[in-house]
Amino acid sequence: MKKFLIIFALALVGTAAFGQPRPQVKFPEYQFTTVKENPITSVKNQNSSGTCWAFSTIGFFESEAIRLGKITDPAKYPDFSEFFVVSHSYYERALKYVRLDGKLAFGAGSEADDVLDVIRDHGIVPNAEMTGMNYGTELPVQGEMDAVLKGIVDAVVRNPNRGLTTAWARAFQAVLDEYLGKRPEKFVVDGKEYTPLTYRDALKINPSDYVTLTSFSHHPFYTKFVIEVEDNWRWDAAYNVPIDEFMSVLDNAINNGYTVAWGADVSHPGFTRDGLAIFVDPKAAAAAGSDQVRWVGGADGAPAPVAVVEKEASQEQRQKEFDNKTLTDDHGMQIYGIAKDQDGKKYYMVKNSWGVTGKYDGIWYATEAFVKGQSLDYMIHKDALPKDLKAKLGIK
């Protein structure tokens, strides 16, 4: 998440130093009409934590529990603990970090398959059993915890002794417990006692039923590869498909009642604070209007707004931006529906984890070009795949 601050600072420095105009994009007042919408739980707030991957994927599995359990009453929608997942993830990451002598990214960021791995190995718990708010704030504020945990593993890696003690991992877990609370071993839901694993099974969530798709040309299509981003610290592999098929699978999923755990780059200027994600073409914006208006603005001296022009999203564009590090794994969200604007243009409905904010109360509307051009990957239930693609990928 620090990437956004760095990019913003560099943009200001670049403008001041070199006098480059920064045209503002003028977004119209959109009127959205829902075409297809699948059930989601309430919008949550990750606040000051780098845990979007946990919030988005847990939201996805809440929707899966609704779908699998055929729950129609929103009052009975589940609310799972994000920080049960975060606690397990941090501990297992610490073990791997030490085994690799610190040659592994270590921090709050991760990705959707990490959540799936935790659910597979450890299960699910209700949020009421582990809210993660064990350090005096109402919402997540985890900079201190992240720094303390990083300090522990770095100290262990630098250990001057010839071997490690048996104490450091217990000490690391104890710190996690103090910040996030202890992970529950048993709990009661609707009068019945569960463990995290039996609760997962009661929800009919089978971890082997979920797959992740991506689309990059530096690996063969219709094979699996480990996406080369630092947050993929477990080295989970995704199925690689051509971008047009990637998009058609997404539509097939939504139109057949499934939601999607989505990983995307949101540092693009078309991803706004007000609930829009539009694949704005900066070059088209810079070319619009007279030279005088570009440099000195309008009659009142204000920067001249420029109409929205989207650039083309393609396999080649995606690969170029992945290779030059302008398409990476900024943020995790949940895609759950399709809408159209007043002109009939298609958008995907996206649940974010920045609280009930913006024009659409925590929901974003992303154009087809934005999703096509800025997606890193997404996770879906395997039954959302068309039969021919399942066969091509060897998925049963």
Amino acid found at 289: G
CB 59 within 8 A of CB 353: yes
pLDDT of residue 284: 73
Q: How many CB atoms lie within 10 A of CB 368?
A: 18
Mean pLDDT of 123-145: 97
Span of 13-17, 27-31, 138-142 with lowest mean pLDDT: 13-17
Residue 139 DSSP label: S
pLDDT tier for residue 168 given thresholds of 50, 70 and 90: very high
Number of Cα atoms under 13 Å in the Cβ half of residue 36: 17
Distance CA 326, CA 183 (A): 37
pLDDT tier for residue 21 given thresholds of 50, 70 and 90: very low
Percent of the chain with pLDDT over 90: 82
Bridge partner list, 352: none
Global confidence as pTM? 0.90
| The pLDDT of residue 22 is above 60 | no
| The pLDDT of residue 251 is above 80 | yes
Mean pLDDT of 334-361: 97
CB 328 within 8 A of CB 229: yes
Strands (E), the chain: 24-26, 33-37, 187-189, 192-194, 210-214, 223-226, 237-240, 260-264, 276-277, 305-307, 331-340, 346-351, 363-367, 375-381
For tokens 């879906």, the residue is: 380
Structure tokens given for 144: 């201190």
Nearest CA among 178, 56, 171 for reference residue 110: 56
| The pLDDT of residue 18 is above 80 | no
pLDDT tier for residue 162 given thresholds of 50, 70 and 90: confident
| The pLDDT of residue 11 is above 50 | no
Percent of the chain with pLDDT over 70: 88
| The pLDDT of residue 78 is above 70 | yes
Distance CA 340, CA 349 (A): 10
Mean pLDDT of 213-229: 98
Strands 24-26 and 305-307 come out as parallel
| The pLDDT of residue 35 is above 60 | yes
| The pLDDT of residue 143 is above 80 | yes
| The pLDDT of residue 28 is above 90 | no
Q: Across all residues in the chain, what is the average pLDDT? A: 90
Q: For the chain, list the domains and their CATH numbers.
A: 23-393 (3.90.70.10)
pLDDT of residue 3: 45
pLDDT tier for residue 287 given thresholds of 50, 70 and 90: low
